[in-house]
Amino acid sequence: MARAAVEGLAFPDGKKEYIIDVLDPILEKMVQELLTNLPEEPTSFMIEYLKQKNSTSSGEVKFRSMADTNQALKKELESMRGFVSEVGEMVSARHQTDEKDEESAEDDDDEDEDEMPPPPPPGKMKARASVSAEAYGLWNQKKEFTAPKHPKSEDQTNRLRAILQNSFLFASLDAKDMDTTLLAMKEVQFEAGQKIIQEGDDGEVLFVIEAGAPVCKKLIDGEDKVVKQCGPGDVFGELALLYNCPRAASVEATDASTCWQLDRDTFNSIVKEAATKKTATYVDFLKGVSLFFTLDDYQRSQISDALKQETFEKDAFIVQQGEQGNNFYIVEEGSLVALKSKNGGEKAVVMKYGVGDYFGELALLKDQPRAASVQVTSDTAKLLVLDRRSFKKMLGPLQDLLGKKSSGYA
C-alpha cells in the first residue's frame, strides 16, 4: 500500500526504504482489518489496533526498533491516523465491485431486476487499493493542480453542461467546479469502426458522448463480444480513473461519433472528490430515513449513487393527482403536503411531509395514477429523486414496507 504510493517519488536517503520495509506491513495489516470490520470510527479502531499490536512481546521489540530508526514516529502516527480515517470513510461510503462486465450488463438487462446486490465480501475489495494509494499524508503530498483549458463556443458549453448535469458523476459539482470541468473537456471525433479505448490498456481519460452510438466489447472465450450499447449522455472510461486499473472493456464507434474527453488529473482533483463527498453525505442522510433503517452502508451507497437532487419553490406541485408517476421522492429540506380532491373538487390535506419523509411510491409499486397531489409549503424544498427503473432495482427488497404506507392516502 505504501509501496504503491511512494513508487517513483524522491525521498531523502533511507526514507523510501523505511516506508516500504517498515511502515508498509503495518499499514497493510491495519487496512485489511479495517476492510474486514468496517468500523464506524476508523481512527479509534486504528489506535486500538496499534495498542493491541504493541502489547505483545514481539510487538514491543518491533516498535522499539521503529523508534530507534525514526524518532519522529509519533508525528508520523498522526499522518497515518488521517490516512486510515480517509480510507475508512471512502470504504463505508462507496463499496463497489471491480468487475466492469457486471456494471455493463446491469445497464441493459436489469429492467426487471428486483433485488439489490449484496455487499461484496472483504476478499473482493481489490479496487480499494487504488483509493488507498491516492490518500495524502506526510509521505505523499497533494500537488497543486491547474486544470487545462479548451475554449468553447457558448453553444458548445451549453450543450455540454446539459449533458453533464444529467450524469451522476458530474451532477454533484458546484457552479465553479462545473465551469472548470467544462473548460477542461476537449472535443474529439471518431469515425465508424474506430477503436476509442482498448481493453487492458492504461486509462488516462474518460469520455462523455454527445452524438453517436459506440459499443462496449469484452474479450470472452477469445472473441470480442458486445456487452453494452452506449448513446448520447453516457460516460465511459471512468472506471480506470476511479480505481487506477486497466481498461475493463474496449469501446468502438459504430458511426460518426462526437465525444468530450476529460483528463485523469482534472477528474481526480475535481469530479471524483465531489462525487465521493456527495455519496458520503447522502449515505449519512439515508441513515435517518426510516425506510432505510434495515440497510447497511453499502446498500445505502448504491441508492445514493442513483439519487438526483431537485429544488422546488413554495406552492409548486411536485406531483398531480391522477397523473402517471415515474419518480419516487425523499424530502431532504423543506415541508410539503399531500392533497386529495373530494367529490366537489375541493382539496383536503391528507398528509404532511418533512425532512426524511418520502412519497410517490404507490404509483410505482402498483403502476397506477398518482393517488394525491403533493405541494411545497416551505419557501423552498430540496428533494432527492429516484426514477422508476432505479426504484424497482434498488428498493425491491423494501416493497413490503413501502406497501404499508398506502393506507396513509385513504
Domain of residue 210: give its range: 154-269
Q: What's the pLDDT band for 125 if we cut at 50, 70, 90?
A: very low
Do 129 and 13 belong to one domain?
yes
Choose one of 100, 133, 166: the last residue of a domain. Answer: 133
Q: Is residue 84 part of a domain?
A: yes
Q: Is 161 annotated as a binding residue?
A: no
Q: What's the pLDDT band for 101 if we cut at 50, 70, 90?
A: very low
The predicted model gives 109-136 an average pLDDT of: 39
Do 91 and 164 belong to one domain?
no
Do 158 and 129 belong to one domain?
no
Q: Are 282 and 307 contacting, i.e. CB atoms less than 8 angstroms apart?
A: yes
Do 122 and 168 belong to one domain?
no
Q: Is residue 281 part of a domain?
A: no
Nearest to 332 by CA among 382, 287, 378: 382
Choose one of 133, 163, 198: the last residue of a domain. Answer: 133
More confident residue, 26 or 79: 26
C-beta contacts of 150-155 below 8 A and 24+ residues apart = 150/183, 150/184, 150/185, 150/186, 150/187, 151/183, 152/182, 152/183, 152/187
Do 251 and 355 belong to one domain?
no
Q: What's the pLDDT band for 90 if we cut at 50, 70, 90?
A: very low
Q: Are 276 and 284 contacting, i.e. CB atoms less than 8 angstroms apart?
A: no
Residue 263 clears pLDDT 90, i.e. is over it: yes
Task: Tell me the pairing of strands 327-333 and 358-359.
Answer: antiparallel
Residue 158 clears pLDDT 50, i.e. is over it: yes
Q: Is 238 annotated as a binding residue?
A: yes
Predicted local confidence at residue 405, as pLDDT: 52
Residue 352 clears pLDDT 80, i.e. is over it: yes
Do 127 and 62 belong to one domain?
yes
Q: Is residue 106 part of a domain?
A: yes
Do 129 and 164 belong to one domain?
no
User: Domains in the chain: how many in total?
Assistant: 3
Do 174 and 91 belong to one domain?
no
The predicted model gives 239-258 an average pLDDT of: 89
The predicted model gives 323-332 an average pLDDT of: 91
pLDDT per residue as tens digits for the range 355-407:
999 998 887 777 788 889 999 999 999 999 988 877 777 776 676 666 655 54
Do 234 and 327 belong to one domain?
no
Q: Is residue 53 part of a domain?
A: yes
Choose one of 269, 292, 315: the last residue of a domain. Answer: 269
Neighbouring-strand partners of residue 358: 330
Specify the pTM.
Answer: 0.44
Q: What's the pLDDT band for 96 if we cut at 50, 70, 90?
A: very low
Give the CATH number of the domain where residue 205 resides: 2.60.120.10
Q: Is residue 170 part of a domain?
A: yes
pLDDT per residue as tens digits for the range 126-142:
333 223 233 444 444 45
Determine the Cα–Cα distance for residues 309 and 383; give it in Å rounded to an integer. 6
Predicted local confidence at residue 373, as pLDDT: 93
Q: Is residue 149 part of a domain?
A: no
Q: Report the chain's mean pLDDT, rounded to a whole number.
A: 75
Q: Is 94 annotated as a binding residue?
A: no
- 200 burial (CB, 10 Å; 0-12 / 13-18 / 19+) is exposed
Do 191 and 261 belong to one domain?
yes
**What cell does 268 get?**
481526480
Q: What's the pLDDT band for 111 if we cut at 50, 70, 90?
A: very low
Q: Is 370 annotated as a binding residue?
A: yes
More confident residue, 406 or 17: 17
Q: What's the pLDDT band for 300 if we cut at 50, 70, 90?
A: confident
Q: Is residue 145 part of a domain?
A: no
Determine the Cα–Cα distance for residues 344 and 374; give it in Å rounded to an integer. 19
Do 129 and 201 belong to one domain?
no
Q: Is residue 291 part of a domain?
A: no
Do 12 and 118 belong to one domain?
yes
Nearest to 134 by CA among 245, 243, 260: 243
